[in-house]
A and B are shown apart, each in its own frame.
Chain A
């Protein structure tokens, strides 16, 4: 059964400002139980104590509190150590039917998603501009996942440090800090989090992608010579939705590039085919010209000349 994007989004809409339905909380010292906090702080749910994440924008922090009308908030988790993003995201994705375990670490979540047969990594650790090309390509859909890799070191380690779900309109939802584009204050819920210190990984659920048309399969699959701005590349477009790129021409039309090189996924979008190149974030748009019996191609918006190799 394909991933249910609406189910994942609906879960996020319900829990984006509160601990997840499973009653667990991701923290820097491991996952903790909200029920244990309730017992320790004498804040039972049946007495009207709601568990919430409360953001203080002026200080740039968020805390977990139990809140009840007419009572002072009882804090159960301070900002230092609050780390529920991967947990929240794994619960959203599981609510959409993704067959992944509950995860508390971002690297684990990325690994679990990349291991699924129905996901495609559109771009891996891309910079801001390349990431925007992926977002603008139309391939990334609400319910897909973004991983944030801390790229600069400094105060934080070079590692996956944050995760979010794309909800459309350039926006995301996440925990720690809580965001949901369109539901809260939208000053910082753009997909890139406005940071120049991060790189971005885009993981797309592909089970509901438009299948390629017969015309596309007949005309696109094979080797292509691609000329753009004085450079020449060679694409090997495969039937399974993958393409590889080489700087040297193939020895023959059946040549196969070794795995691990520069690769893309290609997607049917109406009468066009869109390539997303994983390592660079380049986006090709190929439009079949029926009269000329070949493709008109743009790469990152710039015209390219393509020639199919016989």
Chain B
């Protein structure tokens, strides 16, 4: 995928859709995004988009080692596992927001936290969640783990830290 085409998809991650089963292979329409926002402690601000073929686009903004767009390739075979990680926490049936706008789903609310947006588009379904990290609780903790897994899949630490 060209960087230009990939960036168009980056801007419109839900534009791609198709009805595929993903029991054994990654549906061609799969797109996963992660967007980490600011916090008072100057959290790293960057975006990641992952496509079905393992293409990764990273866009570093603030407080990161590498700023700007980077096109990379991750192991597409591992993408099924990442999609399963979304399924494992029942991602499609969670709230759209945790700790962002209200405190529904938060057992406690801390003073500071970054705002992390995730999304997945796969098999004709799409879902996005805004997770304000001030919000603590069982589901927010699962979301934090999922966000970290997206980072690990994309090997983003090399550009962030």
Residues on A facing B (Cβ under 8 Å)? 28-29, 58-61, 79-83, 148, 150, 155-157, 159, 161-162, 176-177, 188, 193-195, 197-198
Does B61 sit at the interface, judged by CB under 8 A? yes
Interface size (B, Cβ < 8 Å)? 27
- One digit per residue, 1 when the CB lies within 8 angstroms of any chain A CB and 0 when it does not, for chain B 71-112 equals 000000000000000000000000000011110000000111
A59 to B62, CA, bound (A): 20
Q: Which applies to chain A's interface (DSSP): helix, strand, loop or mixed?
A: loop
Select one of A59, A148, A155, A193 contacting B132, CB under 8 A: A59
With A155-B39, A177-B40, A198-B41 in contact, do A29 and B100 touch (Cβ < 8 Å)?
no
A195 to B133, CA, bound (A): 13
Select one of B62, B112, B132 contacting A81, CB under 8 A: B62
Contact A157 B42 (CB under 8 A): yes
Contact B111 A81 (CB under 8 A): no
Q: Total contacts A to B, CB within 8 angstroms? A: 79
Contact A155 B36 (CB under 8 A): yes
With A193-B111, A193-B112 in contact, do A157 and B63 touch (Cβ < 8 Å)?
yes
Given the complex, which residues of B lie within 8 Å of A162, measured CB to CB? 40-42
Contact B111 A188 (CB under 8 A): yes
Residues on B facing A (Cβ under 8 Å)? 36-45, 61-63, 99-102, 110-115, 132-134, 161
Select one of B45, B112, B132 contacting A28, CB under 8 A: B45
Given the complex, which residues of B lie within 8 Å of A156, measured CB to CB? 39, 41-44, 63
Closest beta carbon of chain B to A87's beta carbon, Å: 14
A174 to B45, CA, bound (A): 22
A57 to B102, CA, bound (A): 9
Given the complex, which residues of B lie within 8 Å of A81, measured CB to CB? 38, 45, 61-62
Closest beta carbon of chain B to A106's beta carbon, Å: 9
Q: Which residue on chain B has the smallest CB distance to residue A81?
A: B62
Contact B115 A61 (CB under 8 A): yes
A195 to B134, CA, bound (A): 10
A58 to B99, CA, bound (A): 8
